[in-house]
A and B are shown apart, each in its own frame.
Chain A
Amino acid sequence: MARPSFVGRDGKPRLIECVVLYFDLLGVGEMARGETADSELEKFDELLRQVLPYPIGAKAAAEATRLGASSAAVFSDSVVQTIPVADDLPAAAPIFQLVVQVAQSQTQLILSEYFARGAITLDRFHAHDGLLFGPALVEAAKLEQEVADVPRIVLSSRVCATLLEFAQAGGENAFYAEAPVLVDEDGVAFVDYLGGAFQSDPEIVVPELLRRHRKVVSAKLKESITIFHHWSKYRWAAEYHNAICLKNRDLLDGGEGHGSFLIDSIYTSRQFKPLMSAAARPDR
């Protein structure tokens, strides 16, 4: 089976079907401007290379593309990761892998105070020799800017439909719809990063991770209290945090009780539903 390639036999660039993850890291633009830009760069560089499981840059991308594997590109505060869809596999397979992987990366970024906002799309794309181009990225950027709104990585309607298709069909691939994805009150499906991290990483200590998450989100709420459009983003993160604490209360009651894990300045009313039990409307 031929590997999908961004360059045809005639040497011309090609668009191929890909799963594309695009996200912005909130606040990085401000960090890059101030007197601390040098130290921020050092921290940013080290963290991204530890958190992204795939290599960054054109050379790494070329090697990954040759082998049909995944690669990532970083431009200022924006990260793009691509997985070509192989001809012999359902598109749900790379989507599932990307969702599982990004849940862990997003969790680790947030614990280092980098909140990600972005989208996962499925469409044609070209990523070769430093050039990123195509409808999959255009849609992801549009979803990031117009739909995500708060620090969440949303799924395009086609990505949701691809995962759900297998649940409806049943059979051995029905599990794709169990990817760690929640549907928010506005009908937007997004990566359940904490839930995904709990499921895919048995080494995590849940109470410790939630305490660290609470600390970071609480600090951001406090920092942004005078700028409403910043504060409202972290308010969402706090509501998500509280919902996850309540969902996992059995894992927390043994210690101090789940109440001490909640961010108590936030009234918790937001409802998040599993993808399978909600009708997602990511494109509004």
Chain B
Amino acid sequence: MINELLFMNGYGIYVFSAFIFTLLSFASLYLVTKTQFVKEQNKFVAKFGSLNTDKAKSAKTQRINKEILANASNN
């Protein structure tokens, strides 16, 4: 049963390599995108931390900024 599934009458190597290539591409795309996202988020948090009180207060009035900071602290 297992041999039959893996060998697939000689087509197993083609079928599995196509599926493995697809799943690896998915994983790579996800990891690259996630890394870029985390990098930008960390850059934002670092920049926000270096702002003085007035500028930080003014930046915090924007909802998107607050959400980025909240998401960064959740990660």
| Co-complex (A, B) | no
Residues of A within 8 A of B (CB): none
Q: Which residues from chain B sit less than 8 Å from chain A, CB to CB?
A: none
